[in-house]
Chain A
Amino acid sequence: MAKIVACVCTSHVPAIGAALDNGKTQEPYWQRVFGGYEKSKEWIEKVKPDVCIVVFNDHATAFSVDVVPTFALGCAAEYTPADEGWGPRPVPVVHGHPELAAHIAQSVILDEFDLTIVNKMDVDHGLTVPLSLMFGQPKEWPCQIIPLAVNVVLYPPPTGKRCYNLGKAIRKAVESYPEDLRVVIFGTGGMSHQISGPRAGLINSDFDKAFLDALATDPQKAVDIKHIEYMREAGAEGIEMVMWLVARGAMDEKVNEIYRFYTVPASNTAVGHLILENASA
């Protein structure tokens, strides 16, 4: 039986990918960021997931304004790293797990979560930066990846509650898959940031730290946060944090906090990172 063994939440700031790809990781500014992921890389090397479900958002790369799916599950065999205007990131092609993805799609849709199925999608920094942070710069990614794209670009994104409950449905789907697979679920994006308009540069560390605390010890508190509160308190683009709730929903209510990291800034953004395992595991 497949099993979700842990959840990894992390920011997916594009400048982090650029710093890595351009060999700037040793600069003090970037050392402060990458240093925070050394323990995580060691941890995931031990955990050795077979599959990672990566909850991320597309930043006007695969989806234009022609069609904006709220939840889009990648069921393809592979995904090409996208050209976001600066040329594609020099990272490996992302290999999917089409059978598990199809199983999840069927299970959660029949569970009344109306996902969009995606058979072709280039993946942008939202997906590839978390992989780089956790796995470094390998020739091939060490596991298969199932992308779940959440709309957080066109208001309104799905509510935190909806995301959390989708996480529960994904867990049920994974646990009904017959093959023995170790699955880690990633929630990406955030933390506080605003990159648009005269209020750009907003950071709210108090909000971020309270959010990390809530995820670790009292997820309902995070689930109850309304969109207006994310945007007002954590910046217009801080609303990406709802994606972390999908990952959190796939875990037990009681979890062990394995690791936490927080720093300001990476470019425009507060970087937050949390690894959780089920307390009962």
Chain B
Amino acid sequence: MEKPKKEYEDIPGTTVFDADQSRKGYGINMFCMSLLKAENRTAFKADEAGYLKAYNLTPEQTDAILKRDWNGMLALGGNIYFTSKLGATDGLSFQQVAAKMTGATQQEYADMMLAGGRSVEGNRSKSEWEHKNG
């Protein structure tokens, strides 16, 4: 059987965290959740790869975490409210993590926000992005 299409897959630059994603990213998100405890943050920082072994991650997921590939973590089932705890452990604010996901520098991103944010015009559907890039 073909999987049903999800209408929100058409939103560009966006991974909607649904039950499929949450199953795929269970390990990433539970790892991130563990960082809510100060002693776990310390243990993770002391030995990142070793700490991750307890979370049943795929090699791609481990790699994305170790490389701080923020978009990669989302694609592999992570959710921003979880991955931001890894950001916090690195001393990053929500805004700093967001900037990294857009490919902008922190300053460029902060300036964009001060100027009113990213407009919805041209950012509603994937076809608009393909048009822009093609």
Residues of chain A touching chain B, judged by Cβ–Cβ distance below 8 Å, are 14-15, 18, 59-61, 64-66, 68, 82-87, 153-156, 192, 194-205, 207, 227-228, 231-233, 236-237, 264-265, 267-268, 270
Contacts and interface: CB of A to CB of B under 8 A. Distances in A.
B127 to A, nearest CB: 13
Given A15-B93, A15-B95, A60 B26 contact: no
Interface residue SS majority, chain A: loop
A207 to B, nearest CB: 7
B117 to A, nearest CB: 3
B88 interface: yes
A194 B95 contact: no
Interface in B75-89: 79-82, 84-85, 87-89
Contacts of B130: none
Contact of B16 (A82, A192, A236): A236
Contact of B95 (A59, A154, A268): A268
A264 B37 CA distance: 33
B16 A200 contact: no
B58 interface: no
Contacts of A197: 13-15, 71, 74, 101
B18 interface: yes
B62 interface: no
A233 B120 contact: yes
Given A155-B18, A228-B8, 6 more contacts: A15-B94, A15-B95, A65-B26, A83-B36, A199-B11, A201-B109
B79 A233 contact: no
A18 B94 CA distance: 11
A199 B121 CA distance: 12
A193 to B, nearest CB: 8
A196 B74 contact: yes
B19 interface: yes
19 contacts: A65-B25, A65-B30, A65-B33, A83-B36, A83-B37, A84-B85, A85-B88, A194-B118, A197-B15, A197-B101, A199-B12, A200-B13, A200-B118, A202-B120, A203-B113, A204-B120, A232-B8, A232-B120, A267-B94
A204 B8 CA distance: 18
B112 to A, nearest CB: 6
Contact of B113 (A153, A204, A265): A265
A69 to B, nearest CB: 14
A227 B14 CA distance: 14
Interface string B45-63: 0000000000000000000
A194 B14 contact: yes
Contact of B94 (A192, A195, A236): A195
Contacts of A84: 36, 85, 88
A87 B38 CA distance: 8
4 interchain residue pairs of minimum CB distance: A203-B117, A85-B88, A199-B13, A198-B13
B95 A267 contact: yes
A71 B119 CA distance: 32
B94 A14 contact: yes
Contacts of B134: none
Contacts of A204: 119-120
Given A196-B80, A233-B124, A267 B93 contact: yes
Contact of A228 (B7, B13, B93, B102): B7
B116 interface: yes
Contacts of B32: 60
Given A60-B82, A200-B98, A85 B89 contact: yes
A251 to B, nearest CB: 29
A86 B88 CA distance: 6
A87 to B, nearest CB: 8
B30 A268 contact: no
